[in-house]
Structure 1
């Protein structure tokens, strides 16, 4: 075998803890951002609140080293708010994956996790993001991601999700061993089997089955869901206008307006290399980086929303029934960003519109009805179904076939089973039940 030397140029992303936090910041909701910035304000002496009130009262002795009070107003509603599951998990990544390559793989995996916490892509597809990644390496990283807190995020099946949660419990947890067997081999039959049946199949007592089932039922089948804090989500954007000219603007809390403390920064310029000055310079660098990241998040969010509503102008004019098909890739190309960045930006963000408040992700919906229905998306059809049923004759409610036929007359060809699916998602019972309720 002949040995040769060759020079090859390649690009590879080095994932640093700061980059991970920047990525995480894109995913934060407005309330999470407020919560994290408050924590930074409490720990970094170089930061202060940037408000008009502070400007008016920012007089006094620069040598007074008492921590400025501007950032310490009472806000128990912020401190008591829970941190969302994905945010808690992202906080753990730098410590769990000190190697930059593994950290990049972990972030790529979490990019493909859906709102319930399940991995919504094949590892082979994720491996295509970087030629240096293999499916085996991603599998190993995924296994470690699934064991972080909350356990089970990144699972591909319900059984895998529940298994991860059971394995995270202490080994002496009552019912753990039997529960692992039930989840691995008998999950599908649990709803239709008695405790005696399961005890006979597994080879344990009925009491042991009862303990194991109680443990399984205590687990979270959707570890990534944020329903417990859904009521805390507030709009970060507003679309307003007069019907001829629409504008998107950010709705920002005063608590997210921070700046570098000018007095302390000026003092540092005349200091030497004492230990205290060195520590403060480190905090100054962290403060500047944080403010740049916040500014980048705001800019990216605003540009993304402007691109979304430039394509959804019909929705602004006429409402949900005028929604058009739109993909993450379209918006990514429009503002020259990666598709995964757009996915992060629209997660956990809501917007006020003339037709109500919506998640930004709501405006991304695939085309339905084939080539003949170009410009018609699933969410738009769902809104049409809602409108038709809202306006039906209660004595003669529309069946799914009636709705499908009415849409066909509009040139929208949708199968009756699709209408039934949309009706179910809207929480509307079948026609027979609606007429019985009259």
Structure 2
């Protein structure tokens, strides 16, 4: 078993890595690590350190009168210190992560309603695609045979795309319904 002393020693080494704030266990610790990393510690930075170290709850609740009383500082000095704190990075590890948040949006919902399994299409997952009426009107207003032919072909392709999207939706619904019928016992009883 690893001792707490060894774990804290390793954590301290991790917290010495760059960018400052890596390995912090909470926001307060992250900010303190970054403040300690600013070696100059002018009066604004010293006050910022004191605010984060001794008055973090008052800082997060924006209790300025308590901050003034606890630090013995003026509102103006506190504003400078808070402005400096706001320049710190609350998530220093985020710069190593270039992955965007990707959310899985289901095509269907399977719900148990009044003793029955119901499959519904998730309308939010289906793009709302339609043919612009101005584009459709342009076909009849085309001046040359080539334009009319081109626009008709484009309009026909657009309709095929729309029909394909509708067909996909109905196919997904039929497929999930069929799977649901076969898996009904698994939903209700569990795997056997």
TM-score by length of 2: 0.48
Higher helix share: 2
Higher CA-based Rg: 2
TM-score by length of 1: 0.23
